[in-house]
Structure 1
Amino acid sequence: MSSEKVLVLGSGNFGLCLADHLADAGSTVLLYSRSLEAVELMNKEHRNPKYLRDHLFSSNITAIGPEFPTKDVVSKMDVLLFAIPTQNLRKVLKDMSSLLDPDNHPLMIFVNKGIETDTQALTLEIIADECGTEIAKTSVFLSGPSFAKEIIKRQPTQVSVASLSITHADRAAEVFHQPWFRCYTNNDPIGVELCGAGKNVYALAAGVAAGLGFENNARAGLITRSLAEMTRVGVAFGASPITFLSLAGVGDLMLTCTSENSRNFTVGYRLGKGESLEHILETLGSVAEGVTTAKGYKKIIDKVGVQAPVANAVYSVLYEGAVIKDVVEGMLNRPRVVEHDLPLGRSPVDDLLSKLRLSTRPW
């Protein structure tokens, strides 16, 4: 049983389910929320007013907020778990950076999946910018096929736990690992991040296909070609191709592209049925990171200069006013290509690793 002191920042579906998992495994958990109503209800009734409303949360969870945690609180923690949407993460890390001792700080674990739209920055680079390179090099990224509704029911779940420091990845895996939540370590956090971002974009495409009435052959083909494309983009960026065959890669891609519980799949499905994006987002009730990630992912694709017809098609529908049926017709009439095509040469990851003062790729 783990006996860590953990501060979870973010009280959405995923932050809540992981807080409950850790508390159930023996950790003492503080859960930060910006909602006073959520804080009061959690502490009084061990429930959340908006997310996972039917679940009775562990009594080992104490909610704090809406004021940001103090330096005294942070200094007593063994682990900081960030379950913050990528587009909001930089501000949270700015607030957190002044509370951290660079030489003796808690283990920092990140579970967001996305790319910062304005900068095309991965979370690793955002951490380096706001908290320093040494903290970035020991930060850990947890990703994989992991719906909150199933974790909260202790359904068997398996995830990748990645860091540039395998020592810190091992420590994070030890914090989370339980028979119902198996952790596999990985030393390619950049690949894991690109998987987590890309799969949300491809889930939009899978949802569109389902909404149009395409059946199993089309879905299997689309997922497989999305994996090839996601791998091509990742390798061009500088990630290991093996990472895309991991739980964070093909595992998460399969889950997100095949389940109606996926928010990104749902957005795509409703687009395929003819609803407007604006109406879908107004009525979805939660964040579908693929919609914003598509912007940053498109910029990365253009930067590395590889063919990515599926992601480009998604972007054209979301942001260029393209008609879905015309886009699909164009996709189906593309010329034949080689099935596997991995690019070589210098890539953006070399610049990022230089920023982190690392001379070689750890993977």
Structure 2
Amino acid sequence: MQQTLKSILVLGAGSFGSCLADHLGDSEHHVYLWSRSKEFCDHFNQQHRCIHQLTDHQFSTHITAVGPEFPDRALVEKIDILLFAIPTEGVRSNLVALKPVLNFDRLPLLIFVNKGIEISTQCITMEIIADELGPEVAKVTTFLSGPSFAKEIVRRQPTSVSIASLTPERAQQAAEVFHQPWFRCDDPIGVELAGAMKNVYAIVAGAADGLGFENNTRASLITRALSEMTRVGKAYGANPLTYLGLAGVGDLILTCSSPLSRNYTVGKRLAAGEKIEDIVKSLGSVAEGVATSKALKSVIDDLKLDLPIANSVYEVLYEGKDVKERAQFLMSLPSVPELELPEDELSEPVRRLRARLGIE
């Protein structure tokens, strides 16, 4: 059955936003790609190429770059799908800008692809949406996550992702738009947390490679990282099985194993002795794990969980601890059960999240 063509607005013209816009444009949807840069918009509309990333790729002619002003009501009201490809730290301010021009009586399908936790509030994206647009909007929002490097998507490499929502019909709609038969519609909290946390563990995987450790070490790190991720997810009320899927172990393995990952690159350069400030400045794009590590530290302290790998990443990034010393510390830890989950009780973050969403 032929799919109905949609008008789609992608907020964020970084690597991932651009590659998803291209994927949707190739399906002949009418795509608007918003950037804060007038230079980007002018260059893209003239040549259908990006300036700073994916520069060798010729983008679909079904994409129109818009900006640098935030999209106005006239544009937003004709949009069927609104896709947020903005780093987590910028989500709240952009939702504030969106609210006055959003028609709540004809709400577009909202899809978020960022992977992080807000530093100042320790909020996952669903909570930020509930704060700024209301709990009813948060409940119908969808979240896309999974092992998906932008450079491989634009080369049309086979890619599978998870799509999650508290409203199954919305997850189904998003899955159909992206032509993906693999999607999850029952655990958006687990999908969000997995996507955020894997970026933190990619930093330590890159650092391990930078220190000269090889495959055995990486396999051990990924296994222990998955255990830590699952424990946090369980404490939030997420389904532990989510972490065995694409958004969990699938994305974790990809991000921890490839120099295409910005977070992996951060870790490898830290191991070479570079300062985090210099690394972040020179990357040219956001490595979400750097900010998420700070937010995650507050989360795990609130949950009273002992997560030595996540804590070590925070100590290296924000307390100036030595990468080699932290590696030796992790290797000297006593043996622990492979997977030990928190008890089934409502933690404070879960109570807070449910209150924001209006769930009893």
TM-score for both structures, normalised by structure 2: 0.97
2:27 corresponds to: 25
Structure 1 residue corresponding to 2:175, chosen from 170, 173, 176: 173
Deviations 1:23-81 (A, max 9, x none): 10121101111111111111111111112111111110011111111111111010000
Alignment of 1:103-114 (within 5 A): 103-114=105-116
Is the partner of 2:248 in helix, strand or coil?
Answer: helix
Q: Report the Cα offset of residue 227 of structure 1.
A: 0.3
Q: Report the Cα offset of residue 182 of structure 1.
A: 4.8
Aligned residues: 356
Is the partner of 1:142 in helix, strand or coil?
Answer: strand
Equivalent pair of 2:204/2:264 in contact (CA under 8 Å): yes
Q: Report the Cα offset of residue 284 of structure 1.
A: 1.6
2:193 corresponds to: 194
Q: Report the Cα offset of residue 143 of structure 1.
A: 0.3
Is the partner of 1:195 in helix, strand or coil?
Answer: helix
In the alignment, structure 1 residue 50 sits paired with structure 2 residue 72:
no
1:101 corresponds to: 103
1:34 corresponds to: 36
Using the alignment, how far apart are the partners of 1:337 and 1:253 within structure 2?
21
Q: Report the Cα offset of residue 237 of structure 1.
A: 2.0
2:227 corresponds to: 228
Tell me the percent identity: 56
Deviations 1:106-163 (A, max 9, x none): 1110000001001101000110111111111000000000000000011100000000
Is the partner of 1:23 in helix, strand or coil?
Answer: helix
Q: Structure 2: which amino acid aligns with 1:346?
A: L
Q: Report the Cα offset of residue 325 of structure 1.
A: 1.7
2:15 corresponds to: 13
Alignment of 1:200-279 (within 5 A): 200-279=199-278
1:316 corresponds to: 315
Equivalent pair of 1:173/1:185 in contact (CA under 8 Å): no
Is the partner of 1:239 in helix, strand or coil?
Answer: coil
C-alpha RMSD of the superposition: 1.1
Q: Structure 2: which amino acid aligns with 1:150?
A: E
Equivalent pair of 2:191/2:247 in contact (CA under 8 Å): yes
Structure 2 residue corresponding to 1:66, chosen from 65, 68, 74: 68
Equivalent pair of 2:226/2:249 in contact (CA under 8 Å): yes
Q: Structure 2: which amino acid aligns with 1:254?
A: I
Equivalent pair of 1:120/1:297 in contact (CA under 8 Å): yes
Deviations 1:198-255 (A, max 9, x none): 0000000100100000011111001001001110111112211011111111000000
Q: Report the Cα offset of residue 338 of structure 1.
A: 1.8
Using the alignment, how far apart are the partners of 1:2 and 1:223 within structure 2?
41
1:137 corresponds to: 139
Equivalent pair of 1:2/1:26 in contact (CA under 8 Å): no
Using the alignment, how far apart are the partners of 1:255 and 1:249 within structure 2?
10
Is the partner of 1:269 in helix, strand or coil?
Answer: helix
Using the alignment, how far apart are the partners of 1:129 and 1:282 within structure 2?
31
TM-score for both structures, normalised by structure 1: 0.96
Which runs of 5 or more residues in structure 2 are unaligned?
Answer: none
Is the partner of 1:21 in helix, strand or coil?
Answer: helix
Using the alignment, how far apart are the partners of 2:33 and 2:116 within structure 1?
22
Using the alignment, how far apart are the partners of 2:189 and 2:131 within structure 1?
16
Using the alignment, how far apart are the partners of 1:24 and 1:336 within structure 2?
50
Deviations 1:291-336 (A, max 9, x none): 1110001111111111100000000111111112221121111122
Is the partner of 1:185 in helix, strand or coil?
Answer: coil
Equivalent pair of 2:84/2:113 in contact (CA under 8 Å): yes
Using the alignment, how far apart are the partners of 2:183 and 2:98 within structure 1?
28
Using the alignment, how far apart are the partners of 1:182 and 1:155 within structure 2?
16
Q: Structure 1: which amino acid aligns with 2:285?
A: S
Equivalent pair of 2:131/2:356 in contact (CA under 8 Å): no
Using the alignment, how far apart are the partners of 1:302 and 1:186 within structure 2?
29
In the alignment, structure 1 residue 340 sits paired with structure 2 residue 339:
yes
Moved more, 198-207 or 24-33: 24-33
